[in-house]
Structure 1
Amino acid sequence: QVVPMDEINLHFTGDFHAIASAHNLLSAMLDNHLHHGNALGLDVRRITWPRTMDMNDRALRSIVIGMGGLNGGPTREDRFVIVPGSEVMAILCLARDLADLELRLSRIIVGLTRDRKPVTAGELKASGAMTLLLKDAILPNLVQTLEGGPALVHGGPFGNIAHGCNSLVATRLGLGLADIVLTEAGFGADLGAEKFFDIKCRFGDLKPDAAVIVATVRALKMNGGVKKDALGTPDVAALRRGLVNLEGHVQNVAKFGLPPIVALNRFTSDSEEELACVLDAARSWGARVALSEVWARGGAGGEAVAEQILAALKEGKADFRPLYDVALPIKEKIETIAREIYGAAGVDYSSAADKAIAQCESMGLGNTPVCMAKTQYSFSDDATKLGRPTGFRITVRDVYPSAGAGFVVALAGDIMTMPGLAKVPAAEAMRVHADGTIDGLF
C-alpha cells in the first residue's frame, strides 16, 4: 500500500482540480467567443469540446446551456466528461515538459466551422492560461509504500475511455533515479497495456523489457461463470473455464515482443488447489509466474514476483515492437487492434463513425495512434461476454480527434465517457469522524 492513502484518494495535491480548471477555462473561453461575435466562424452545431467534472453524474451526459436570455451566452447542446476522460488529462500525461504541454494544449480542436475547418484552443488564445493553471500539476508526486519504498503517483486517465497510463514525466523521472521502473497501465492487457505500448511508448521513446500481468483466482472464476456473491467459494471447474481469459492476456503481451510474467495475487478465500491450477496453467503457456502475497506480507510477499522479473531481465529476450504502423489508415489500425488483441472477427462502423474518420483524416490525424474506448469487462465491446469470446464483431459508434494528445479516440459499443453512480453509491457509507479517521473510502 502507498501512503498517504486517504489524501491520494481524495484531493491529494490538487492535480485533478487543476486539470478540471484548465479544461473548463477552455469551455468558458469558447462560449465567450461565441457570445462576442464568433470571429472564428464556429458552427455551434459542430462544437465538440465538452465540459468536465470529476464526479460520476449521468444527468450531465447531454445538456443544454445558455438558457439565461440575451446575456446568458448562446443556447446550444453540450455535455460533460469525467476528468480522467478529459483530453487535458491525456495531454498532461503525455507532455514531455512545460513547453510541450502548452504546444499540445494549443492543438486541442474545440469544433468546426461551417465549412468543416477545425478551430483550436490556440486560435482561442486559451493555451497560455491553461498551461499556467497546470504549471504545478505537471510535476510528479512522490509518495511511499508502508515500508518506505518510493512511488510516483501522477495522472489518472482511465484505461477504458482514455489511454490508461501515468504521466510520461513521472516515468522518465523514475528511469533517471532507479535501475528498474515498474509502471501501471489500467485494466487488462487489451486496454491499458495495449495503449501503453502503442501510445505512451511511441511518444516517450520507451522500450519496456517485460510485462507483469496481475491475475486473481476470483476474477478468473468470474470469467468462468461464477456470480460475484459466490467468488469466495472454491470452484476449480469454473476456474479452469475462466483461464482462457488470462491466456488471452498472456498471448497479447507476447505480441509486443515482451516476456510475460503472471503475478497471481492471493486472496484469503483462495484454495491451494485453485492457486496451483493457475500457476500450472501459466507455466504451460510459457509464461513466468509467481504468487503475490503483498497484501498479507508486505514487501516479503512480493519477492517471488520480483525474482521472476529479474530473471526475465537477465535473459534479455525482449524485442519490443508496437502492434501497428501509425501510417496505416485509421480503420486498418482499429481493425488490427480488434483482431489481434480482442480476438474479434471484424469491425462494424456506424455512419457517424465513417464520417468522423473521414473528417479526422482530412485534418491530418490519419497518421496517429488510435485510442480505443470500450468496456473493461470483456475482450469484446459487450460487458456480458466473459472468458475469451470468439466470432464476435466490434461496433465503432463514433470517432473523435484528440489532436493535442496526439491520437484519435474510437468509441466501441455503449461505453460512456461520463459514468453514472451505482444504485447504492459508495458515498453512502463514507464519513469522517471528529478525530479525523475516515470510514468507507476503501
Structure 2
Amino acid sequence: MTYKSDIEIAREAQKKPIQEIGAKLDIPTEHLLPYGHDKAKVSQEFINSVQDRPNGKLILVTAINPTPAGEGKTTTTVGLGDGLNRIGKKAAICIREASLGPNFGMKGGAAGGGYAQVVPMEDMNLHFTGDFHAITSAHSLLAAMIDNHIYWGNEQDIDIRRVVWRRVVDMNDRALRQINVSLGGVANGFPREGGFDITVASEVMAILCLARDLSDLQRRLGDMIVAYRHDKTPVFCRDIKADGAMTVLLKDAMQPNLVQTLENNPAFVHGGPFANIAHGCNSVTATTTALKLADYVVTEAGFGADLGAEKFMNIKCRKAGLAPSCVVVVATVRAMKMNGGVAKADLGAENVEAVKKGCANLGRHVANVKGFGVPVVVAINHFVTDTEAEVEAVRAYVAEQGSEAILCQHWAKGSEGTEALARRVAEIADADMANFAPLYPDEMPLFEKIETIAKRIYHADEVLADKKVRDQLRAWEEQGYGNLPICMAKTQYSFSTDPNLRGAPTGHSVPVREVRLSAGAGFVVVICGEIMTMPGLPRVPSAEAIHLNEAGQIEGLF
C-alpha cells in the first residue's frame, strides 16, 4: 500500500479563508491582520480586550525520550485538537514555529504529519510571518550596538574579553560557532573572539515567548546581561540603550499567528525556543489568548517529558500562572522496541518482549508527570507495522502504572483516529482532577533546585559541579536572582546526560559543565554534557532535496 507524503496531503488541503477560522473563536475580522489568505496575526488590542474572560482547560502533550523511530508529538497534538472539535468541543491548538536550520538540516518540518497537520505547511516551515527574522534582527541590533559602544569610547567600561552577547542566524552553520570579529585595523574596532548561535537559542526568543505584553517585553529585554565590566559587574541591554529599538523590531512578532488544521480547526503557531537550551514551549501570549477563546487548548512541550514537560511546568506555568488539567504522553510501539534494545532496521518485526522491556522509559515519564499533580493519559501513536500483541503489551503496562493507554490513528485517519483519546481527555479535564504544583518553590537555593530536578526527574544519584559553578550560583543568589527557576540543558535522548543510555537508567550522575544567567528571560541555564547552541548540517542535509517543481510547487521539504 502506498501512502501520500505529508506535503502531498497538505497540498490537497481544502483550506478556508483565515477570517472563517477566526470566527470559530469569535475573533472579529478587523482584529485579524492577514498574511495572505490563510494566516493572520491576532491584534494586541483584541488580546487586551479578552483578558477578563475565564480560562478554558489546558491540555499538555508531551512524549517519551525521542528515538530515530519517531514519536509524533506534534502530530498527536494536532490530532487531539481535531478530535476534540470532532466530538463537539470548542478547541484550539498551540504549537511552536519551525526553525529554518533543522528544516534544511536533518529534522525536517514541524507542522504535524499525515492527516493531522497544520497548514499552510510550506509557509510555516519557511519564512511564515517573519517572526524569526524579527528576532534575528533585534538580536543583531544589540550585537552591533555593543561593539559600537566599545568603539566610541566604551563609556560602560566593558571588558572586551567578557562580552557574553553572541550573534545569531537561523541556520545550521558550524563554521560560525567560534569566530574573530572586528579584524582589519583601527577603523573596524577592537578585535575579540565571538561566535554565533542559532536564532532559536537566542535569549530574545525565550523572552518573546515568556513576555505578557510589549511593556513586559521591553523590561525583560532591558534586563538581559550582555557583558561584564573590568570590575566584573554586569552590563545590561538597557545600559547600551538598545531595549527600545529592539521592542520596535519585535512589535508585530509579539502578536500570535492564527492558522488552521487540515480539518479547518484553529491553531496558534507562535514562537519556538530551543527545547534543551531554553524552555521549548510556544509563547505565553498564544497560550493565554487561546485559553480565553476556546474551552480546551491543546499545546505541546519540546522533546521528551524529562525536558519538555518539566520546563513547561516549572518555567512556563510558573511564570504565566497556568495549570494543565490533563497531560498526554505520546509513545509508539516502535520507540518502545528501540528502548528495549532493537535496532532501527529490525523495528518492522514483531517483538513483544522488547516492547515490554522498553516500557520502563514510558513508565518513568508517566510517574514524573504525575508528580506534578496532573492526571496522565498515554497516546499510542499507531504505525502500520504495529501488531495487536505489541499494542496490548503497552496497554497492559500502562494500566499497571495506574493510567490508561489509548490507541490513536490520527496520522492515517485524522480526527476519526483520535476520537477515543479526545473523549477521555475531555472527561478528565472536565472532572477537575488536577492539583498542579511545580516541582520546587521559588525560594529554594539554585543548586538545590538543580538537585531536585536531577534526582526526581532524571533519577540520578548526584549532581557533579565544581567550585566555580557553585560559587557562580551563590553570587547570583546574592545579586537577587535566587528565585529564578532552572532550565536544564542536556541531551534529549536519555534521562541521563549520555545520549546512548536508553530506557530508565538509575545510579548515574549529572555533571554540570557551566551555568548561564538568562536574566531577561528569567531562568538559570544549567548546561550538562555536550549541548550545541549552533547545530551543524548532516553529511546529506535535507536542503539537497528541496527544490521547486515545474508547477512552481515546493518539493522535498518534508
TM-score, normalised to structure 1, is: 0.98
Alignment counterpart, residue 221 of structure 1, candidates 337, 340, 346: 337
Residue aligning to 2:313: 197
Which one of the candidate residues 346, 349, 356 is aligned to 1:230?
Answer: 346
Match of 1:52 among 164, 168, 172: 168
- Look up the match of 1:403: 519
CA–CA distance in structure 2, aligned partners of residues 233 and 347 of structure 1: 40
Are 2:501 and 1:389 aligned?
no
- Greater CA deviation, 425-434 or 379-388? 425-434
Q: How does 1:249-288 map to 2 (within 5 A)?
A: 249-288=365-404
Q: Which residue of 2 aligns with 1:107?
A: 223
Aligned runs of 1:33-432 on 2, under 5 Å?
33-432=149-548
Deviation sequence 1:248-278 (CA, Å, 0-9, x none): 1100100100001111100111111111111
CA distance in 1, matches of 2:532, 2:370: 30
Once the 2 structures are TM-superposed, how far is the Cα of residue 82 of structure 1 from its aligned partner?
A: 1.1
Determine the structure 1 residue equivalent to 2:59.
none
Contact 2:229/2:235 (CA < 8 Å) preserved in 1?
Answer: yes
Task: Tell me the distance in 2 between the aligned counterparts of 1:170 and 1:436.
Answer: 33
Note if contact 1:356-1:398 (Cα within 8 Å) is conserved in structure 2: no
- Given that residues 289 and 308 in structure 1 are in contact (C-alpha distance below 8 angstroms), is that contact kept between their aligned partners in structure 2? no
Q: Do 1:105 and 1:127's aligned partners in 2 also have CA atoms closer than 8 Å?
A: yes
1:272-302, CA deviations, whole angstroms, 9 ceiling, x for partnerless residues?
Answer: 1111111121111111321111110011111
Say which is worse superposed, 363-372 or 378-387, in terms of deviation. Answer: 363-372
Native 8 Å contact 1:402 1:409 kept in 2: yes
Cα distance in 1, alignment partners of residues 140 and 308 from structure 2 = 26
- Please, which moves more after superposition, 430-439 or 6-15? 430-439
Secondary structure of residue in 2 paired with 1:183: strand
Residue 146 of structure 1 deviates from its aligned partner by 0.5
Percent identity reads 55
Shift of residue 185, structure 1, vs aligned partner: 0.5
CA contact (8 A) 1:279 1:289 kept: yes
SS in 1 for 2:187: coil
Q: Residues 339 and 345 of structure 1 are in contact (CA less than 8 Å); yes or no, is this contact kept in structure 2?
A: yes
Contact kept? 1:42, 1:119, Cα under 8 Å: yes
Q: Please state whether the residue corresponding to 2:322 is helix, strand or coil.
A: coil
CA–CA separation in structure 1 for the residues paired with 2:341 and 2:441:
37
Deviations 1:213-232 (A, max 9, x none): 11111112111112222223
Query: How far apart in 2 are the matches of 1:362 and 1:435?
Result: 62
**For the aligned residues, what is the CA RMSD?**
1.2
Unaligned runs of 5+ in 1: none
Aligned: 1:8 with 2:110? no
Give the secondary structure class of the aligned counterpart of 1:418.
coil
Q: Which amino acid aligns with 2:243?
A: S
User: Are the aligned partners of 2:395 and 2:404 in contact in 1 as well (CA < 8 Å)?
Assistant: no
Deviation at 1:310, TM superposition (A): 1.4
How far residue 352 of structure 1 moved from its aligned partner, in angstroms, is 4.4
Whole-Å separation in 2 of the counterparts to 1:338 and 1:352: 19
CA contact (8 A) 1:360 1:400 kept: no
Q: Indicate conservation of the 8 Å contact 1:118/1:363, yes or no.
A: no
CA offset digits 1:309-334 (Å, max 9, x no partner)? 01212332210000001211111000
Q: Distance in 1 between matches of 2:354 and 2:138?
A: 48
Of structures 1 and 2, the one with the larger relative CO (CA 8 A, separation 6+) is: 2
| CA distance, structure 2, for counterparts of residue 304 and residue 370 of structure 1 | 36
TM-aligned CA deviation for residue 37 of structure 1: 1.1
Task: Tell me how far 1:351 sits from its aligned partner.
Answer: 4.7
| TM-fit CA distance, 1:355 | 4.2
Q: Distance in 1 between matches of 2:179 and 2:466?
A: 23
Q: Is the 8 A contact 2:226 2:237 kept in 1?
A: yes
How far apart in 2 are the matches of 1:272 and 1:195? 34
Paired amino acid for 1:84: V
1:96 is matched by which residue type in structure 2? Answer: R
Using the alignment, how far apart are the partners of 2:233 and 2:189 within structure 1? 23
Specify whether residues 218 and 355 from structure 1 end up closer, same or farther in structure 2 by C-alpha distance, changes over 3 A only. same
Deviation (angstroms), 1:412 = 0.6
In the other structure, the counterpart of 2:93 is: none
Shift of residue 433 of structure 1? 1.5
Are 1:396 and 1:411, in contact at CA under 8 Å, matched by a contact in 2? yes
C-alpha change, 1:215 and 1:440, in structure 2 (3 Å) is same
Does 163-172 or 305-314 show the bigger shift?
A: 305-314
What does the per-residue CA deviation read over 1:356-399, in whole Å, with 9 as the maximum and x for residues that have no partner?
A: 32343243212100111111000011101111111000011000
Conserved 8 A contact 2:336-2:355: yes
Instruction: State the distance in 1 between where 2:552 and 2:395 align.
Output: 43
Please state whether the residue corresponding to 1:347 is helix, strand or coil: strand
Partner of 2:534, secondary structure, is coil
Task: Decide whether aligned partners of structure 1 residues 70 and 365 sit closer, same or farther in structure 2, where only a CA change above 3 A counts.
Answer: same
**How far apart are the structure 2 equivalents of 1:156 and 1:200?**
13
Q: CA deviation at 1:114?
A: 1.4
**How far apart, in 1, do the equivalents of 2:195 and 2:470 lie?**
22
Contact 1:108 1:403 in 2 (8 A): yes
Q: Given residue 169 of structure 1, which amino acid in structure 2 is its aligned partner?
A: T
Superimposed CA distance per residue, residues 104-160 of structure 1 (whole angstroms, 9 cap, x where no aligned partner): 101010011111111111110000110011011011010111111111000001212
After TM superposition, the score normalised by the length of structure 2 is: 0.78
DSSP-derived class of the 1:132 partner: helix
Deviation at 1:349, TM superposition (A): 1.2
Amino acid at match of 2:229: T
Amino acid at match of 2:516: Y
Q: Which residue of 1 aligns with 2:552?
A: 436
Q: Distance in 2 between matches of 1:339 and 1:197?
A: 17
Cα deviation digits, residues 143-187 of structure 1 (max 9, x gap): 111111111000001212210100000001101101111111011
- Any conservation in 1 of the 2:518–2:524 contact (CA below 8 Å)? yes
